[in-house]
Amino acid sequence: MHLLGTELLEAREILPGQWLQTYHAPELATGSRAGQFVHVRTGDLSGLVLRRPFSIHTLDAATGTITIHFRTVGRGTEWFTHLRPGDNVDMLGPLGRPFEVDPRSQHLLLIAGGLGMAGVRALADEAIRAGRQVTLLFGAASARDVYPTSLLPDEVEYVVATDDGSMGHHGFVTDLLPRYEAWADQAFACGPEPMLQALARLAATRRSRMGVAKLGRKRGAGKGHAVGSPLARRKAFLQVSMEQRMGCAIGACLGCVVMATSGVPQRVCREGPVFASEEIDWEGAWGR
Amino acid sequence: MKAKRRVVTNSGGSTTAHRSSTLRRQRTSNALTSMGCKDSAVDMTTPRRGDATGRETVATADVDLSVDLGRGLVLPNPIMVASGTFGYGVEYGDVVDVDRLGGICCKGTTLRSRIGNPTPRVAETPGGMLNSIGLQNPGVDAVIAKYASTWEGWRVPVIVNVAGESVADYVEVVKRLDGIPGVAGIELNISCPNVGRGGLQFAIDADAAAGVTAAVRRATDLPLLVKLSPNVADIRPIARAIADAGADALTAINTLSGIAVGGSRQKPLLGNIYGGLSGPAIKPVALRIVYEVCQVVAIPVIAIGGITDIDDVLDFLAVGAVAVQVGTAIFADPTLPVRLVAELEGACRSGGFASYVPFVGTALPKRPSSPSSKGVEYRP
């Protein structure tokens, strides 16, 4: 984790209200992994006291750049859209724990809902570099919110679902999962919590529905490892990137917790943001 | 022996603030010579001896920022980090050299582990933030097991913030912390606004506050700080009662109770509905309370509330605080506290002072001011 001065190189609005910004940050570009995030400081004159967490959307070690992808939802994100190339921005990162791909996994299923693309996008690059096959299921409200195909690597199979049916499958992205889960060795998801919850339920019953455990895993796969440990994630079929309102982003303030099945709230910024789906208490009323 | 006025005015007096507490510490340590940690703390105070004459010292002399909070608790400088914003001190290790801080107040610690409040727990507000963590912590025994040995290796004193539901809880936690190497002191959190029984009931009543302070005082010889709540009509009788009950220093202030409304406006945003407001937005309130408290107690007062730069630090010193805690600002700028230490040293140097004592209490009235609190108008 470093405290870095980074320079904005490029900013563009890729979708209505959604921005993609490229920053020169060599330490982050080389030292980060898919699933990690940066905590970015807004300007002093903005009157905002908290940094803003952004997933590392893509990272390019060769050019020393990272990109972040965000939607303008308030004064903080609004402030970022006013930045111009050449402006300096203070970033804390890389933070959190990354996605862990089992070395034996060849078929990766990525599932993104809306801005959840920001969380899983880097994993697509990482997996393709490692010679794996990637299918990306993407859900959005309508065609105007669909992440542009041009920003994805050619190797990715991109399947779109829209709530209003204006593009691709008419319905939720979770409807698509049964078609791909037999193909997938592991799945990685980021998006609204109801989507993650639905995926987690599907993943939990996957073994009984499909009658076989992938990867030759033994009894109790995904269990028995400490919450947040890399092994617990690596052994899990479904890994989810969680979102929560965040304060310090380094584990000090305990603001951004999610309830774990162990009964102890886990910090999204420290134990997460990527969790094995079995680690999260999806059914409890706590925090919902 | 008891100083009438603890603060230093700019009228040319001596360093009464430090003198009174130094005398107090010497008495204490004479009475309690058995504890090794206290002896070493006494050694740390020796460089301070030059202070009394240091006021005329020219800029070339070294600036001594150390401050004695009583009972052997000597901070290397008056810039502390506030409870709840710095975890247990280890979290920020990658980006901050903790040993350059004046003191660390760790996350509120209770007897048994607590899972805290439901999420969302934080919300940004104009010039500040609301939090309702709800004292999530693993319990005092786990805290000791996990962090005490780390703290012991640090030069910076670590003060454990203690919360509880009953006097017995507070006493038991403090007893377990007593004698643990690495624990430099106790900050009694009787003012957490986020928990139904988080101790706030003690902070809003002078008798209850004095009761819990006295009980803890009997249970430990550790330096005892008590954190005041701003959510009261008149802070002075409470501050006086806590001081009389044996607290070594006061911390002012905890967060102000508030709420935020969620995006859909169907309910309050925070999972706990109520949260504590912190950040620059509360600085005027904190200044007012420190100003009031410093006029009625003879023990050191540590100010906290919305500090984001050196001017804020000097403001709080001017109304009588001898040390400050930085809290919410750390989230945006983790290196701020360490930078403030350097900037305070610079301020002393440019003023030609050998310590920051001349900054303390300059804005206090020459004689106690008329009641600044007119009753219910301050009620939150």
Q: What is the DSSP string of B168-217?
A: HHHHHHHHHHTT-TT--EEEEE--BTTSTTSBHHHHT-HHHHHHHHHHHH
Q: What is the pLDDT of residue B233?
A: 86
Number of domains in chain A: 2
Same domain, A144 and A227: yes
A149 to chain B nearest CA, in Å? 31
| A58: β partners | A67
Choice among B105, B106, B192, B348 that is catalytic: B192
Same domain, A25 and A141: no
The residue segments making up the domain with residue A35 are: 2-95
Report pLDDT digits (tens) over A238-265: 999 999 999 999 999 999 999 998 889 9
Q: What is the pLDDT of residue A12?
A: 94
**Chains A and B: how many Cβ contacts under 8 Å?**
105
Number of domains in chain B: 1
The ranges of chain A with pLDDT < 50 are: 222
Q: Where are the beta strands (DSSP E) in B82-136?
A: 103-105, 122-125, 128-131
Same domain, A113 and A221: yes
Helix (H) or strand (E) holding A60: strand A58-60
Same domain, A190 and A113: yes
CATH at residue A207: 3.40.50.80
Catalytic, B192? Answer yes
**ipTM value greater than 0.90:** no
Test A76 with B118 for CB contact under 8 angstroms.
no
Same domain, A193 and A123: yes
The residue segments making up the domain with residue B350 are: 16-366
Q: What is the pLDDT of residue A208?
A: 75
- Distance between CA A288 and CA A56 in Å, rounded? 27
Q: What is the pLDDT of residue A46?
A: 63
CB A228 within 8 A of CB A275: yes
CB B41 within 8 A of CB B66: no
Same domain, A52 and A80: yes
In a domain, residue A201? The reply is yes
In a domain, residue B9? The reply is no
Please compute Rg for chain B using Cα positions.
19
Same domain, A248 and A146: yes
Q: What is the mean pLDDT of each run of 10 residues along chain B (380 residues)?
A: 42 40 38 35 37 43 87 94 94 91 94 91 93 93 94 94 90 94 93 61 86 94 94 91 95 92 88 92 95 93 95 96 95 94 94 92 79 47
Using a 10 angstrom Cβ sphere, with 0-12 exposed, 13-18 middle and 19 or more buried, the burial of residue B374 is exposed
A284 to chain B nearest CA, in Å? 11
Nearest to B124 among A50, A251, A254 (CB): A50
> What are the tokens at B326?
């930085």
Same domain, A117 and A79: no
Mutate to test the interface with A, among B143, B264, B326, B331 (most CBs of A within 10 A): B331
Helices (DSSP H) in chain A: which residue ranges?
Answer: 26-31, 75-81, 117-129, 177-180, 193-204, 206-210, 230-234
Mutate to test the interface with B, among A253, A259, A270 (most CBs of B within 10 A): A253
Test A47 with B86 for CB contact under 8 angstroms.
no
- Domain edge (last residue) among A95, A119, A140: A95
CATH at residue B70: 3.20.20.70
In a domain, residue B204? The reply is yes
Q: What is the pLDDT of residue A21?
A: 95
